[in-house]
Structure 1
Amino acid sequence: MLLEGKKLLVTGVLMDSSIAFHVARLAQEEGAEVVLTSFGRTTKITTAIARRLPRPAPVVELDVSSEEDLAALAGRVGEHVDHLDGVVHSIGFAPQGAFSFMDASWEDVSTAVQISAFSLQALTKAALPLMSAGGSVVGLTFDARYAWPVYDWMGVAKAAFESTNRYLARDLGPRGIRSNLVSAGPVRTTAAKSIPGFEQFEEAWGTRAPLGWDVKDAEPAARAVLALLSDWFPATTGEIVHVDGGYHAVGA
């Protein structure tokens, strides 16, 4: 099996439609042991959704904006596994004000950048005490090379996220740890529904992507995450793998 014996930390499991849920499900099917994170009121939701996985998965508390939670993460995860082979970052948030580019306040923008970009470094640093050579960090992005309709400051945050991945690749490489991203096409998740006008992406993607695109199917992106967590990409780091039906490759 692709991930036989590996121990993974997966963030962002909120609904069974999410990419993170499918990562956790497929990882278990491929032989991995999975620990999930959640925080606050969403912990009950994550715990309930975790029951739909092939096997039970513990849920540990982690708010990536909390220094206390970050400092305690290795200890909390260590109660369930003795080390980590991989970490999946599936975290993003922006206040509604951040979806109006010209009117957004710095308070809204800074929140978007902290939760959606800086958290990749913060999560990785918190998990490092449990990781060793051969480990893999994989995050989820939405192609930040372009100014998308309605995405606004979340797009800027994703650009920072993608840059953070490259710097992590630089600094983790000497430890033998890889850092890569999967740039997924639009998937109808809880996060997507919070973006005003998100249906514009849904309408365009299926018609323009050379391979077509199903906004209800998170599994293709999840499979790419699993591949990057596996030992099959031992010399790949700082990379962004597009799983979008080929949309990124074609012009207007």
Structure 2
Amino acid sequence: MGILDGKRILVTGVLTEASIAFAAARIAQEQGAEVILSSFGRQMKITQVIAERLPETPKVIELDATNDDDLAALPERLEGNIDGIVHAIAFAPKDALGGVFLDTPWDSVSAAIHVSAFSLKAITVAAKPVLNKGAGVVGLTFDATISWPVYDWMGVAKAAFESTARYLAKYVGEDGVRVNLVSAGPLKTTAATSIPGFGTLEDMWGDRAPLGWDQKDTTPAGKAIVALLSDWFPATTGEMVHVDGGFHSTGA
């Protein structure tokens, strides 16, 4: 028996096999879950192709987290109740990253916060009518309790994301829904490589992470997500679990 036997899980943000979202979807299936993927626009075809590389090819539904019509249609498109959501979407315009913090215009900042933070609340509330009691919502972050080189306004958006998760946990807890985050170390994902100078972060981990760190291995983060989706954390919400080889615990 798997720890997600009989559960239905919505996984957002699957665009490549190298993504944490793909690892979470794969492990969720291996642990007995029925997985539904979401995508939208031109990315839909990419997600559909990548979906075929999972152990079982899942259904892919349309969901633009910034589109009110898509959000309103989410319960119908899911075609039944679900037991969990993996939030793995984030975006910041190029002029919001890479050391240009002081010059970034508000339009770019607001876009980053809308997609990367507010969408956690938007998707969860949209799915609320079909979220089973005991459901888990798990989001991905890059520890925003401190500042990082080159991460700039995405770091600010992630700080908003982490705060959103805590408030969301407060307000959906009465429905038995848990909201938690996984903070992974730097991985060679599409999202990471699109950030100018992100390699400066990757270089730190090899020296400081007590357990070491493999920048190509998304499985540890995927396992943490699946564990938080399962019934093994029934009284845990508003939490951020670090999956970073212990980097966050060391000063030098």
Instruction: Work out whether the TM-score is over 0.5.
Output: yes
1:229 partner amino acid: L
Count how many residue pairs are aligned between Structure 1 and Structure 2: 249
Offset at residue 235 of structure 1 (A): 0.2
What are the equivalent positions in structure 2 for 1:152-171 lying under 5 Å apart?
A: 152-171=152-171
Residue 163 of structure 2 aligns to a residue whose secondary structure is helix
CA distance in 2, matches of 1:202, 1:60: 34
What are the equivalent positions in structure 2 for 1:129-168 lying under 5 Å apart?
A: 129-168=129-168
Structure 1 runs (4+) deviating above 3 angstroms are none
Deviations 1:213-235 (A, max 9, x none): 01100000000000000000000
CA distance in 2, matches of 1:32, 1:106: 41
Q: Which moved more, 1:22-31 or 1:199-208?
A: 199-208
2:42 partner amino acid: R
Offset at residue 203 of structure 1 (A): 1.0
Counterpart of 2:21? 20
1:97 corresponds to 2:90: no
Residue 9 of structure 1 aligns to a residue whose secondary structure is strand
Offset at residue 56 of structure 1 (A): 1.4
Residue 169 of structure 1 aligns to a residue whose secondary structure is helix
Offset at residue 49 of structure 1 (A): 0.4
2:225 partner amino acid: V
Residue 102 of structure 2 aligns to a residue whose secondary structure is coil
CA distance in 1, matches of 2:107, 2:243: 32
Counterpart of 1:71? 72
CA distance in 1, matches of 2:5, 2:166: 28
Counterpart of 1:176? 176
Offset at residue 132 of structure 1 (A): 2.3
1:97 partner amino acid: D
CA distance in 2, matches of 1:226, 1:207: 28
TM-score normalised by structure 2 residue count: 0.98
CA distance in 1, matches of 2:85, 2:227: 13
CA distance in 1, matches of 2:176, 2:77: 24
What are the equivalent positions in structure 2 for 1:204-219 lying under 5 Å apart?
A: 204-219=204-219
Counterpart of 1:227? 227
CA distance in 2, matches of 1:132, 1:34: 15
1:92 partner amino acid: A
Counterpart of 1:56? 57
1:34 partner amino acid: V
Residue 68 of structure 1 aligns to a residue whose secondary structure is helix
Specify every segment of 5 or more residues in structure 2 that has no aligned partner in the other structure, as ranges: none
CA distance in 1, matches of 2:152, 2:110: 13
Counterpart of 1:187? 187
Identity value in percent: 63
Residue 101 of structure 2 aligns to a residue whose secondary structure is coil
Residue 60 of structure 1 aligns to a residue whose secondary structure is strand
Specify every segment of 5 or more residues in structure 1 that has no aligned partner in the other structure, as ranges: none
Deviations 1:123-160 (A, max 9, x none): 10111111121111000000001110000010000000
Offset at residue 101 of structure 1 (A): 0.6
Deviations 1:154-182 (A, max 9, x none): 00000000000000110011101100000
Residue 37 of structure 2 aligns to a residue whose secondary structure is strand
TM-score normalised by structure 1 residue count: 0.98
Deviations 1:53-72 (A, max 9, x none): 00110000111111111111
